[in-house]
């Protein structure tokens, strides 16, 4: 038996549908991406805040470095002021220099016209040094002279001092009339990193790595690394930098947290995000599952599980809505019934009956307009409500459907059957849905008792037809028919037995129907005495052919034949066979046969003669 979509829904009741599973996955991925982007944004936001704080720190320490260097420049300018005040004749240079010396100042020199003539501390063997002959120094000296302001030069390495920075301060003397005359230079050399050691040390103690770089002179295009907290002057990955200008040189302090930019606070947000995704996914899963279960329950209530058509409740609800919402639209309701459905179930089994109902439902869906309402209202009964058609059009549709012969194939056998229908019209015959259904049902009953395989339009006289239950089960027939009885196919090649009652089974000495099947192999000729078989066959068909020639209009043909049967235990019993040949829409031509023991008939006849 084929599985309907409703069966699949029931079987997967505990599972989400593929569509809902995809939705759950898509939402989960979207939420996960949202968490990733959210945590990423928080991480980026916190890093930017951290960088902003480090920028403030870098700026503050850059200003402190600028003050450190400015203190050294202030000392050179103080000596410059003393020279200007003395009109270039500073009497006690050593005293003045000694007063300006600090731990970071390593050398103070005077260079009138660019020639160093005095130095403090003075080396043991001092001789004047003409800086004008040093091309590198001359460029810086000329720049300072032209700008008339202190400039820095370095870092450079002096044997007696080591790594240092030279502050070159030009000195101009005034004549009292506003004119200035170039005197020479005050050169103050400061040790590095001593000049800014405290400042950078404090920065390092805060947990920062740094690089300090500067241009060698005001005329340099590139910068050199002056100091670094990293071994071997390594580079920083993503530093925050701040630049400042002093002595016409550009200094840059680059800073980043030791170990890089990190935000350890991301972990709680990740955990929170995962929990949030899990909670939303769980809620969505429960919501989808609940909706799916509600949908399945709705289908169980309003859709027939076997055929996939509407159930009785679903059909009635839809028909009610159609009539209530569109009271002026004509509706024809037809009850359709599968003729001899009980025979199909009894002879071929309930699975074959189910297949017939499934076929019937599919056939009706294909035969009626798409907007028709179709539902299985019980057993083998299907109701169709045709809308937006005239009664004449509906009648033609229903008559056309009933006229078609139906068949299914079950276990290699073709099972043929027909349909009957009764129908009525709204609003011409019925005032509401309830009355419409009652009238269609009465019309169907009229069709069934009228011979089946026909469609009946409701007429008032049908309301007075008395209903009786005329069906009998195969079991009742098997035990209730007086005398031995069987049904077999009128096919000389097979003569397959389709039915045998209890009397025939016992006549042949069999225990039950299964024993009967094994003994006869379900063939009519099998239990006839071998010497009688040919004569029996010839006699039966001669009688049938004779009647066919003379009585063409008869619906059935009869035969009478006498022969002997052989029982299972070997007894030979003379019998009289009275048969009738009819045409069945399921099996084709078949014989209905009563078999009576000859001795019983003779005994009855003798008794009747004696009584007379």
Instruction: Please report, for the domain that includes residue 404, its CATH number.
Output: 3.30.70.270
Give the range of the structural domain holding residue 480, as residue numbers without chain letter: 474-611
Q: What's the domain count of the chain? A: 2
Give CA separation, 109 vs 116, 169, 263, in Å: 7, 11, 52
> Would 264 be classed as within a structural domain?
no
Looking at the structure, tell me whether residues 330 and 416 fall in a common domain: yes
> Would 569 be classed as within a structural domain?
yes
> Would 547 be classed as within a structural domain?
yes
The whole-model pTM stands at 0.49
> Would 529 be classed as within a structural domain?
yes
Q: What is the pLDDT of residues 154-176, one digit of tens each?
A: 888 887 778 889 999 999 998 77
Looking at the structure, tell me whether residues 309 and 341 fall in a common domain: yes
Looking at the structure, tell me whether residues 460 and 478 fall in a common domain: no
Looking at the structure, tell me whether residues 454 and 484 fall in a common domain: no
Looking at the structure, tell me whether residues 493 and 459 fall in a common domain: no
Q: What is the pLDDT of residues 340-363, one digit of tens each?
A: 888 888 888 899 999 999 999 999
pLDDT at 108: 92
Looking at the structure, tell me whether residues 412 and 511 fall in a common domain: no
> Would 253 be classed as within a structural domain?
no
> Would 362 be classed as within a structural domain?
yes
Looking at the structure, tell me whether residues 492 and 551 fall in a common domain: yes
pLDDT at 170: 95
Which of 464, 488, 512 finishes a domain?
Answer: 464
Is 458 exposed, middle or buried (CB count within 10 Å of its CB: 0-12, 13-18, 19+)?
Answer: buried
Looking at the structure, tell me whether residues 312 and 438 fall in a common domain: yes
Is 22 exposed, middle or buried (CB count within 10 Å of its CB: 0-12, 13-18, 19+)?
Answer: exposed
> Would 335 be classed as within a structural domain?
yes
Looking at the structure, tell me whether residues 509 and 585 fall in a common domain: yes
Residue 450 has pLDDT above 80, yes or no: no
Contacting residues for 457 by C-beta, under 8 A, at least 6 apart: 395, 422, 423, 424, 443
Cα–Cα distance for residue pair 297/310, rounded to 1 Å: 13
Contacting residues for 439 by C-beta, under 8 A, at least 6 apart: 424, 429, 430, 458
Residue 477 has pLDDT above 50, yes or no: yes
* Token pair of 392 as six digits: 């004449």
Looking at the structure, tell me whether residues 410 and 481 fall in a common domain: no
Of 49-58, 83-92, 401-410, 468-477, where does mean pLDDT reach its minimum? 468-477
Which of 436, 464, 492 finishes a domain?
Answer: 464
Looking at the structure, tell me whether residues 329 and 388 fall in a common domain: yes
Looking at the structure, tell me whether residues 448 and 497 fall in a common domain: no
Which of 464, 487, 502 finishes a domain?
Answer: 464
Q: What is the pLDDT of residues 270-323, one digit of tens each?
A: 888 899 999 998 998 899 888 888 877 777 778 888 998 999 989 999 999 999
Q: Where are the beta strands (DSSP E) in 520-598?
A: 557-566, 572-584, 588-597
- Contact between 481 and 595 (Cβ < 8 Å): no
> Would 341 be classed as within a structural domain?
yes
* Token pair of 323 as six digits: 């009539």
Report the C-alpha dihedral over residues 537, 539, 540, 546, rounded to 10 degrees.
Answer: 140
């Amino acid at each position: 038996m084929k599985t309907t979509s409703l069966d699949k829904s029931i079987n997967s009741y505990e599972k989400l549908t593929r569509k809902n599973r995809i939705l759950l996955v898509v939402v989960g991925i979207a939420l996960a991406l949202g968490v990733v982007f959210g945590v990423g944004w928080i991480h980026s936001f916190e890093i930017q805040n951290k960088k902003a704080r480090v920028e403030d720190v870098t700026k503050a320490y850059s200003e402190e470095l600028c003050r450190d260097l400015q203190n050294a420049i202030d000392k050179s300018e103080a000596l410059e002021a003393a020279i200007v005040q003395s009109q270039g004749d500073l009497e006690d240079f050593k005293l003045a220099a000694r007063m300006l010396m600090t731990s970071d100042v390593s050398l103070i020199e005077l260079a009138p016209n660019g020639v160093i003539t005095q130095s403090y501390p003075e080396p043991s063997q001092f001789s004047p040094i003409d800086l004008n002959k040093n091309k590198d120094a001359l460029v810086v000296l000329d720049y300072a002279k032209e700008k008339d302001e202190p400039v820095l030069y370095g870092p450079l390495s002096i044997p007696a001092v080591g790594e240092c920075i030279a502050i070159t301060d030009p000195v101009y003397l005034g004549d009292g009339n506003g004119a200035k005359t170039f005197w020479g230079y005050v050169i103050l050399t400061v040790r590095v990193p001593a000049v800014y050691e405290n400042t950078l040390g404090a920065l390092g103690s805060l947990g920062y790595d740094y690089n300090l770089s500067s241009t060698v002179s005001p005329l340099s295009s590139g910068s050199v690394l002056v100091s670094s907290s990293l071994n071997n002057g390594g580079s920083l990955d993503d530093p925050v930098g701040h630049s400042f200008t002093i002595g016409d040189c550009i200094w840059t302090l680059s800073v980043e947290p030791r170990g890089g930019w990190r935000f350890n606070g991301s972990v709680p947000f990740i955990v929170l995000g995962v929990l949030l995704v899990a909670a939303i996914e769980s809620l969505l899963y429960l919501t989808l599952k609940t909706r799916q279960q509600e949908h399945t329950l709705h289908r169980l209530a309003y859709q027939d599980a076997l055929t996939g058509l509407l159930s009785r409740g679903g059909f009635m609800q839809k028909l009610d809505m159609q009539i209530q919402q569109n009271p002026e639209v004509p509706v024809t309701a037809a009850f359709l019934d599968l003729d001899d459905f009980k025979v199909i179930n009894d002879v071929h089994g309930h699975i074959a009956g189910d297949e017939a109902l499934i076929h019937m439902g599919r056939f009706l869906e294909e035969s009626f307009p798409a907007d028709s309402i179709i539902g299985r209202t019980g057993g083998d009964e299907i109701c169709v409500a045709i809308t937006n058609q005239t009664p004449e059009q509906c009648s033609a549709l229903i008559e056309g459907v009933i006229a078609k012969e139906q068949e299914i194939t079950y276990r290699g056998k073709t099972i043929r059957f027909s349909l009957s229908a009764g129908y009525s019209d709204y609003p011409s015959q019925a005032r509401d849905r309830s009355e419409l259904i009652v009238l269609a049902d009465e019309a169907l009953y009229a069709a069934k008792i009228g011979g089946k395989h026909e469609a009946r339009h409701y007429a008032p006289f049908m309301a007075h037809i008395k209903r009786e239950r005329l069906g009998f089960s195969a079991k009742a027939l098997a035990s209730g028919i007086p005398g031995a009885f069987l049904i077999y196919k009128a096919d000389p090649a097979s003569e397959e037995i389709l039915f045998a009652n209890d009397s025939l089974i016992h006549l042949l000495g069999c225990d039950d129907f299964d024993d009967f099947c094994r003994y006869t192999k379900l063939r009519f000729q099998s239990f006839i005495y071998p010497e009688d078989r040919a004569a029996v066959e010839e006699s039966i068909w001669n009688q049938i052919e004779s009647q066919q020639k003379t009585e063409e209009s008869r619906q059935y043909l009869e035969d009478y034949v006498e022969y002997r049967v052989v029982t299972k235990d070997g007894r030979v019993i003379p019998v009289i066979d009275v048969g009738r040949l009819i045409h069945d829409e399921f099996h084709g031509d078949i014989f209905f046969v009563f078999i009576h023991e000859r001795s019983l008939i003779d005994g009855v006849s003798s008794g009747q003669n004696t009584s007379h």
